[in-house]
């Protein structure tokens, strides 16, 4: 069917419908509350399963980026943290986040209940599902940074605290209607709430845990150090494509409604900008590494995509397409130089999650006022600082307590053998027969 014919035929149909509608006195109420309810719920479910699949994206990205002796454990961490985050978010998180008083700092705990009805606008279950996968995403960000030397079960314990308590508190401040929301802070889909929260928690862990053995002996070399070479670039690539796919749900679903034409138009604009920001991040990182370092670093292109996507997440609706490309491109550049910065600071972020999620998240949140006139730089800065400092400090304290008690780092012997032998007893690749 040609597009032209379609373009012509639709208005005609609409006209007929509108005429009939108006004869029934309904021209202004063309979506009933129940139909709107179904559309809104459907948006949460569809966008929710896209975000859920991001868990697979993180698993593949991280599996590909670690060395081949730590891949099974990364798989265990990713399937485990997703499960833990979901259970904790049901037990505590969802209720804590929404139990916050207006303008408040912390909610009271209200047990889960489902009070869905047509006039609540969407089903509670669909909202829980959508919010839960955001919570799980926050935890996913942490797992890659700390790979190859952290103990498995202490990591799971941290995942439970992050998903059950830390993230829900921060979420309540803004999306539960707490003090940041009251102040006018704006973070549409979570550049700061989700991505920087994950990044700050990862940074605290990386500092306390220290780098992998031998990681920084030959300091400053930008070439891929062979002992730390990524185990599979195609899996990293797959992971990034899956994340990009999931991000349409992440940002699109954060419109929170699909029951009017205006909402449908908004979701469409968000899809477009989300795509363009990712594209900007890819190409910026590709150009910067090609011109700056001689080779087109595919890992930086892939991580640059994440950086671009994180950057647009704070405001994917208001930017023009060109602005979206630029916001994403800066996100991509931040990833490249952020990675170098961490390297020079001897902080070992195995998958580059801190530059992509924390640094690009800060950028994305601070640039919101450039395209959304209802926000101010000062308020955005307060939001960025308060959330990141809060999360970093709390995470640092928790990691410290765990370090002093159960221990968080594998023994030297365990790390040398590889986490797969030590922790799961399953070798990741048995390619040779």
**Which residues in the 74-113 window bind a copy of itself by CB under 8 A?**
75-76, 78-80, 82-84, 86-87, 90, 98, 102, 112
C-alpha–C-alpha distance, residues 227 and 290, integer Å? 24
Between residue 315 and residue 344, which ones bind a copy of itself under the rule CB under 8 A?
321, 325
Spell out the residues 6+ positions from residue 2 whose beta carbon is closer than 8 angstroms to its own. Answer: none
With CB under 8 A as the contact rule, the residue among 11, 214, 378, 407 that binds a copy of itself is: 11
Between residue 410 and residue 429, which ones bind a copy of itself under the rule CB under 8 A?
418, 423-429
With CB under 8 A as the contact rule, the residue among 240, 330, 347, 360 that binds a copy of itself is: 240
State the nearest-atom distance from the C-beta of 405 to a copy of itself, in Å: 18
For a copy of itself, what does the binding mask look like between residues 253 and 272, x meaning CB under 8 A? -xxxxxxxx--xx-xxx-xx
Of residues 313, 333, 334, 335, the one with CA closest to residue 324: 313
Instruction: Rank residues 271 and 390 by Cβ distance to a copy of itself and give the closer one.
Output: 271
State the nearest-atom distance from the C-beta of 110 to a copy of itself, in Å: 14
Facing residues of 150 across strands?
409
C-alpha–C-alpha distance, residues 82 and 63, integer Å? 15
- The answer to whether residues 84 and 154 touch, using CB atoms and an 8 Å cutoff, is no
Of residues 373, 273, 275, 258, the one with CA closest to residue 317: 273
Of residues 116, 128, 135, 237, the one with CA closest to residue 190: 135
- The answer to whether residues 198 and 357 touch, using CB atoms and an 8 Å cutoff, is yes
Question: Which SS3 state, helix, strand or coil, does residue 343 take?
Answer: helix
With CB under 8 A as the contact rule, the residue among 92, 96, 126, 350 that binds a copy of itself is: 126
Segment interacting with a copy of itself (CB under 8 A) among 29-37, 363-371, 389-397, 407-415: 29-37
Is residue 34 near a copy of itself by the rule CB under 8 A? yes
With CB under 8 A as the contact rule, the residue among 230, 351, 358, 410 that binds a copy of itself is: 230
Tokens of 183: 């102040």
Segment interacting with a copy of itself (CB under 8 A) among 3-11, 206-214, 360-368, 396-404: 3-11
Between residue 167 and residue 226, which ones bind a copy of itself under the rule CB under 8 A?
174-177, 181, 188, 223-224, 226
Instruction: Rank residues 133 and 204 by Cβ distance to a copy of itself and give the closer one.
Output: 133
Segment interacting with a copy of itself (CB under 8 A) among 60-68, 344-352, 362-370, 377-385: 60-68
| Number of residues located near a copy of itself, criterion CB under 8 A | 162
The Cα-based distances of 280 to 214, 309, 409 in angstroms read 35, 9, 38
Residue bearing tokens 């279950």: 125
Instruction: Rank residues 236 and 398 by Cβ distance to a copy of itself and give the closer one.
Output: 236
Other residues' Cβ atoms within 10 Å of the Cβ of residue 170:
28
Between residue 385 and residue 404, which ones bind a copy of itself under the rule CB under 8 A?
none
What are the start-end ranges of the H helices in 253-376?
A: 261-293, 298-313, 321-344, 353, 360-366, 368-371
Segment interacting with a copy of itself (CB under 8 A) among 203-211, 238-246, 333-341, 402-410: 238-246
């Amino acid at each position: 069917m040609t597009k032209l014919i379609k373009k012509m035929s639709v208005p005609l149909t609409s006209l007929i419908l509108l005429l009939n509608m108006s004869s029934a006195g309904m021209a202004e109420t063309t979506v009933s509350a129940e139909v709107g309810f179904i559309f809104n719920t459907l948006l949460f479910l569809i966008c929710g399963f896209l975000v859920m699949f991001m868990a697979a994206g993180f698993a593949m990205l991280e599996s590909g980026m670690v060395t081949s002796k730590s891949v099974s454990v990364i798989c265990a961490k990713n399937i485990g943290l997703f499960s833990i985050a979901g259970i904790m978010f049901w037990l505590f998180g969802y209720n804590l986040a929404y139990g916050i008083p207006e303008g408040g700092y912390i909610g009271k705990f209200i047990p889960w209940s489902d009070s869905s009805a047509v006039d609540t606008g969407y089903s509670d279950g669909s909202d829980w599902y959508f919010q839960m996968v955001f919570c799980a995403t926050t935890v996913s960000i942490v797992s890659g940074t700390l790979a190859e030397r952290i103990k498995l079960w202490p990591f799971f314990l941290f995942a439970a605290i992050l998903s059950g308590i830390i993230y829900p508190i921060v979420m309540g401040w803004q999306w539960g209607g707490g003090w940041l929301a009251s102040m006018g802070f704006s973070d549409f889909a979570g550049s700061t709430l989700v991505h920087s929260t994950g990044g700050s928690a990862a940074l605290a862990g990386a500092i306390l845990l220290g780098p992998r053995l031998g990681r920084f002996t030959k300091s400053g070399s930008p070439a891929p150090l062979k002992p730390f070479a990524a185990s599979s670039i195609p899996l990293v690539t797959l992971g990034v494509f899956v994340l990009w796919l999931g991000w349409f749900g992440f940002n699109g679903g954060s419109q929170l409604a699909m029951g009017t034409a205006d909402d449908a138009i908004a979701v469409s604009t968000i899809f477009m900008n989300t795509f363009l920001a990712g594209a900007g991040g890819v190409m910026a990182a590709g150009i910067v590494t090609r011109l700056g370092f001689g080779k087109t670093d595919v890992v930086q292109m892939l991580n640059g995509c994440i950086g671009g996507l994180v950057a647009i997440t704070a405001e994917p609706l208001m930017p023009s397409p060109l602005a979206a490309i630029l916001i994403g491109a800066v996100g991509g550049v931040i990833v490249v130089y952020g990675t170098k910065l961490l390297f020079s600071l001897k902080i070992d972020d195995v998958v580059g999650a801190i530059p992509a999620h924390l640094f690009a998240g800060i950028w994305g949140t601070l640039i919101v006022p450039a395209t959304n006139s209802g926000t101010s730089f000062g308020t955005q800065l307060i939001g960025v600082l308060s959330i990141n400092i809060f999360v970093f400090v709390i995470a640092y304290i928790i990691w410290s307590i765990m370090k002093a008690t159960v221990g968080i780092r594998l023994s030297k012997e365990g790390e040398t053998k590889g986490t797969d032998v030590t922790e799961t007893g399953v070798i990741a690749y048995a390619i040779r027969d």
